[in-house]
Amino acid sequence: MSIPSETIQKIQQLRQQIEQHNYNYYVLDSPTVSDAVFDHLFRELAALEEKHPELITPDSPTQRVGASALSTFKEVRHRSPMLSLNNAFDEQAVSEFDRRMREGLEADIVTYAVEPKLDGAAISLIYEEGRLVQAATRGDGTTGEDVTENIRTVRIIPLKLSGTTIPSFLEVRGEIHMRKADFIRLNQKQAEKGEKIFANARNAAAGSLRQLDSRMTAQRPLSFFAYAVGELEGLPAPTTHDDMIDFLRQLKIPVCPERNLVQGLKGLLEYYQKMGDSRAQLPYDMDGVVYKVNDLKQQTKMGFVARAPRFALAHKFPAEEAITLVEDITIQVGRTGALTPVARLKPVFVGGVTVTNATLHNEDEVHRKDVRVGDTVRVRRAGDVIPEVAGVMIENRPSRTQVFAMPQQCPVCGSNVLRLENESVTRCINGLYCPAQRKGAIMHFASRRAMNIDGLGEKLIAQLINKKIITTAADLYDLKVSTLTALERMAEKSAHNIIDAIEKSKRTTLARFIYALGIRNVGEATAKDLAAFFGSLDCLINADITQLEGIPEVGPIVAKNIAAFFSESHHREFIDHIRASGISWEEGPQHIPHTLPLSGKTFVLTGTLQKMSRDTAKEEIEKAGGKVTGSVSKKTDYVVLGVDPGSKLEKAKTLGLTILDEEDFSALLK
């Protein structure tokens, strides 16, 4: 049965009305109808769509309530990188920026687009033929996470563009944030429900954006301002950044009302001062302002450096400070075993959040600032995020305070700690057993270049640790299929595959096993040197520092780390346990690596090898005493040529180096 045309027209009319009211309320902050009228329109549309579900479209206002929970986010590769900005913290750096722009553009004065630097989470929105089809987080700048379902619930973001001229493709870049008043109300609701209180609006916004259940995101009061266009197709592009932002505003995409145009250095600094003065009164959090060359052709001319554009700069506000008392100094142990002193503070409000802890970084920093329990200190949020002690008010120090001393044993596991010369960090040396380091140690042990236990990922390791099934990597070899299938989301076939991978890893090499132990500063190359030199694990375990320093490429710091590692009784027990599990490798006589046939020879691999993988080729070269590097130079002895070689081949020819095809390479190895 066909749907009456008047019904179709009514649905389209209701959608347009509702989105216009959303725009008036969320973007213009000027509602034109009461909540009751808005709710009536929404219910009328929902009823018509329920009666005619075939007319429901993804951009309908009724689809903003969220969908079923995802198990994970898909990766999205950005068409062009989402770059970060270089930072300035004083007028001198801004003056240098303006000088570079004037000289690079050969201009007496430059026009800049200026805007607040919001404290939120960067997002990319893609519209095709005017409809929102994808939203992705910034991620690492190249690859982000697909959060489309979550973004659909953010009412300030249009699901369908408005206007007379709609581009065929548009990528909008902007900042998801949470207004101050909305953040306060959210925390009040969280407290009433007995749920987690968010530390600041930025964390609340970023956490809401990454909810696997978009219905949760729909309940969070997120906001958005666009600050750039990634790509535009189907329409002539504006010639300036300011015109581009105006174009977005015409499409009813929200943009920051506090943006402006200024001339030269004087204009930049005046805008910075103005925004700093009005910062507390603005409805959103900001941690600085952003300057951009306004002319887009001039932007292209200035180009990029590393991972940031040359034509833009973030001028950060000074960190906010407050005064409070140090009630205690405790030690945190990180996943790499680093001991970090932390000041436990009398709660104080700094930069919009209540601060109770502040990092003291390391022992030298505590002594440099002379922080003691009982001191009155100035606390600031560095970069408006991480609290730190800025200084001590010595005049307020009570009598008989004690100078801080770093503990000699790890506060988590009780093992000895070690601080090497020329290092500022003190570390727990019990990497395999210390609970603070346990997860990282097991992940490293199971990694591809170590014991290569396929399928044993971070989430599974975390489950095994949390349920106290394993405490060290040695316990992996006691696992049973029945134990794994009892875990969440673990099918029997997957459990069998993991047990098979664990069993397969029992046959390894001495070099891989040494690397898997996770001894500080002992990477793959050093592990191979140690295996080649000592021939057996027992010889390595019993070696003293003098013997260790006698190995090429092993200096005094690495030697001390190795000796300290094997001096720990827990580590020897671990090795005994794991050997008893059936792990084995070929051992040989102790010998010096430079007696090997390819000792001192440097190789570069280019192109795809047909008879072996690059990893295998590298292992074969190193087994024969050679070394593999990633770049061609005069010091390169051989360039091994695979299919589709890159620019390394041309450079090798230019330098007159020896080039081996795969047949020649195989013959050399034999």
How many domains does the chain fold into? 6
- As a whole number of angstroms, the distance between CA 170 and CA 172 comes to 6
Report, as an integer, the average pLDDT of 262-271. Answer: 97
DSSP state of 477: G
Is pLDDT at 62 greater than 80 in this prediction? no
pTM exceeding the 0.85 threshold for the entire prediction: no
487 and 538 in a single domain? The answer is: no
Q: What is the CATH number of the domain that holds 16?
A: 1.10.287.610
Q: What is the CATH number of the domain that holds 471?
A: 1.10.150.20
364 and 468 in a single domain? The answer is: no
Task: Evaluate whether residue 169 is within a structural domain.
Answer: yes
Q: What is the CATH number of the domain that holds 614?
A: 3.40.50.10190
pLDDT tens per residue across span 206-253: 888 888 888 888 888 999 999 999 999 999 999 999 999 999 999 999
222 and 161 in a single domain? The answer is: yes
pLDDT at res. 451: 92
195 and 207 in a single domain? The answer is: yes
Helix (H, G, I), strand (E, B) or coil at 165: coil
Task: Evaluate whether residue 415 is within a structural domain.
Answer: no
Give me 313's structure tokens. 């700069």
Q: Across all residues in the chain, what is the average pLDDT?
A: 86
Task: Evaluate whether residue 417 is within a structural domain.
Answer: no
Give me 126's structure tokens. 């893609």
586 and 609 in a single domain? The answer is: no
354 and 209 in a single domain? The answer is: no
- As a whole number of angstroms, the distance between CA 264 and CA 101 comes to 10
Task: Evaluate whether residue 421 is within a structural domain.
Answer: no
234 and 379 in a single domain? The answer is: no
493 and 519 in a single domain? The answer is: no
Residues paired with residue 418 on neighbouring β-strands, in sequence order = 427
Task: Evaluate whether residue 431 is within a structural domain.
Answer: no
371 and 335 in a single domain? The answer is: yes
Dihedral sign from CA coordinates of 156, 162, 165, 169? positive
Domain range for 382: 321-396
Task: Evaluate whether residue 542 is within a structural domain.
Answer: yes
Confidence of residue 103 (pLDDT cuts 50, 70, 90): very high
Residues 531, 509: contact at Cβ < 8 Å?
yes
The number of C-alpha atoms within 13 Å of 192 and in the hemisphere containing its C-beta is 6
* Residue where one domain finishes, among candidates 543, 563, 593: 593
pLDDT at res. 23: 72
- As a whole number of angstroms, the distance between CA 21 and CA 122 comes to 26
* Residue where one domain finishes, among candidates 489, 504, 519: 504
- Of 117, 292, 528, 560, the catalytic one is 117
pLDDT tens per residue across span 149-201: 899 989 899 999 988 889 999 999 999 999 988 888 888 887 777 777 776 78
DSSP state of 497: H
Q: Which of 102-116, 208-222, 251-265 has the lowest mean pLDDT?
A: 208-222
Residues 116, 289: contact at Cβ < 8 Å?
yes
pLDDT at res. 510: 93
Task: Evaluate whether residue 82 is within a structural domain.
Answer: no
What's the length of the chain? 670
Report, as an integer, the average pLDDT of 576-591. Answer: 84
283 and 216 in a single domain? The answer is: yes
Task: Evaluate whether residue 77 is within a structural domain.
Answer: no
> Is 439 one of the catalytic residues?
no
583 and 628 in a single domain? The answer is: no
Buried b (16+ CB within 10 A) or exposed e, 443-482: bbbbeeebbebeebeeebbebbbeeebbebbbbbbebebe
pLDDT at res. 27: 59
Higher pLDDT, 590 or 249: 249
What are φ and ψ of residue 540, in 5° steps?
A: -65, -45
Is pLDDT at 553 greater than 80 in this prediction? no
Residues paired with residue 240 on neighbouring β-strands, in sequence order = 295
Report, as an integer, the average pLDDT of 287-307. Answer: 91
Higher pLDDT, 334 or 591: 334
* Residue where one domain finishes, among candidates 539, 574, 593: 593
Q: What is the CATH number of the domain that holds 103?
A: 3.30.470.30
182 and 52 in a single domain? The answer is: no
Q: What is the CATH number of the domain that holds 335?
A: 2.40.50.140
- As a whole number of angstroms, the distance between CA 623 and CA 164 comes to 68
